[in-house]
Every structure is written in C-alpha cells, then in structure tokens.
Amino acid sequence: RTGIQLKNRTTDGSDPYAPYYRKGSAASHISAAEIDALDLDGVDLVHVTGIPPALSESARAATHRLMDRAREAGIFVTFDPNLRPALWENEETMRQVLNELAEKADLVLPGIAECEVLAGTADPEKAAAFFLDKGPKAVIIKDGSDGAYLFTAEGSTKVPGYKAEKVVDTVGAGDGFAVGVISGLLEGLPMEEGVRRGNAIGCIQVMTAGDNEGLPTTEQLQAFMERRDAD
C-alpha cells in the first residue's frame, strides 16, 4: 500500500498531531537492488535522512548502498539523522544505525537534541568532535531560533538565527534548513553562507502553516535576508 500522513492544522506554534502510516508501505520495500539500478552520472549531491533506514531491513540496506555508491563515485553526501524513535525497534538500534550512516557522510546535520541521543552530549563542541572523528568533513548542529554551529577540521563558527515574528507551524523547519544548506553547496557558496540560508528558510517555514508551503523562491529568500540583516 502507499504510505500516507495525516496532520492536524495548527496556527499557534504548537506541535501538531501528525500520524504517519508508512510501516509496511510500498516505499518500505525498497532494496539495494533498486539502488544498484540507479544511474548516478551527473549527480552532484546525495541527501540522506534517517527515516528510510527505520522502515525495514531492506530499506536500511538500500540506504547504506546509496551512500556507498555515492562515495565510490565521489559524490558529496549530506546526512540528516531526522530521529523518529517510534519507527525503530529500539533506541540502541536507532543510535547504532544512524551513527554508522553518519560515518559515510561528508556533512552531518543533527539538531542539538539529536546530538544528545546519538553522541551522548548536548554540548555542541563535544558532539561535533564525536561526528568529525567518524570521518565527515563538516558538522552543522541546529539550535532552533538561536541559529546553528558549523564545525570543520579547520575550526568552528556560530551562525546566528533569524527570529520569527510569530511561530505558526514548526513542521518543516528542519527540512527548510537542509534546503538552505544544500542549495548553497550546489551553488558553490561558502558553507557558512549556506547555514545562513538554512537559518532564514527555517524561520520562514515556522511562520507559515504547512510543511512546505513557506519554502521561498531564490528572490524571496534574498529579500527576506536583506531585510532582516538591515534591521
């Protein structure tokens, strides 16, 4: 069957009830064989989240295979752990699998609360060291409206966030942040500028009802950042 999601509409910034019926869905039956059939020629970046490997053993194997193939082809790999404990057999399996996947990424994008689960600490510097020791080139740790921390082997920086005028719906902020970072990477911008974009899109998202209705065009994003930076 096709996986479906239901979501309460919210306009007051509270976390909406959003049951997601994806266990046993068609997508959960994806396997490494489908990944091997993909043509990766011309692909510049592969983005992976921690949700597919939670759905089934075959989807877990497919996720590993995709990251392995991307690395073999020299394709940049980004990884957002996107913790969904309810989908996993137990927390220990979730932690082990997601940390194994983090080892195969060039850039890891955890939230500060996810660091506490995966790295055993909510301290950004200690969490970043935990992930960087596994092999990624960079770690970006999201810290809500406070912005995000960027860590590489060369050093670290805190990129301030943008304050929302009114938080309407928090769903989609993390994905919006990833959009900012990834679009920056694909356009060849410095990673810090991508983090600024991510902070801006995350802010825009929480001020809009719905998961992706707030995603801006390039022009809308630039205007938002210029206006806020001038304040």
Q: What is the dihedral of CA 128, 133, 137, 143, to 10 degrees?
A: -10
| Arithmetic mean of pLDDT over the chain | 93
Q: Is the model's pLDDT at 169 over the cut of 90?
A: no
The residue behind tokens 């001038």 is: 230
What is the arithmetic mean of pLDDT over 75-93? 94
Tokens, residue 35: 């990944």
Please state whether the predicted TM-score (pTM) of the whole model is above 0.85.
yes
Q: Which band of pLDDT confidence, cut at 50, 70 and 90, is reported for residue 8?
A: confident
Q: Which band of pLDDT confidence, cut at 50, 70 and 90, is reported for residue 24?
A: confident
Residue ranges covered by each domain of the chain: 40-159, 161-231
The residue behind tokens 């193939």 is: 69
CATH of domain 40-159: 3.40.1190.20
pLDDT score for 145: 86
Q: Give the tens place of pLDDT for each residue, 117-153.
A: 999 999 999 999 999 999 999 999 999 889 999 999 9
Among residues of the chain, what percentage have pLDDT more than 70?
Answer: 100
Mapping DSSP onto H, E and C, the string for the chain reads: CCCEECCCCCCCCCCCCCCEECCCCHHHHCCHHHHHCCCCCCCCEEEEECCHHHHCHHHHHHHHHHHHHHHHCCCEEEEECCCCHHHCCCHHHHHHHHHHHHCCCCEECCEHHHHHHHCCCCCHHHHHHHHHCCCCCEEEEECHHHCEEEEECCEEEEECCCCCCCCCCCCCHHHHHHHHHHHHHHCCCCHHHHHHHHHHHHHHHHCCCCCCCCCCCHHHHHHHHHHHHHC
Residues labelled as active-site residues: 175
CB 167 within 8 A of CB 153: no
Distance CA 102, CA 78 (A): 9
Q: Give the tens place of pLDDT for each residue, 172-212.
A: 889 999 999 999 999 999 999 999 999 999 999 999 888 88
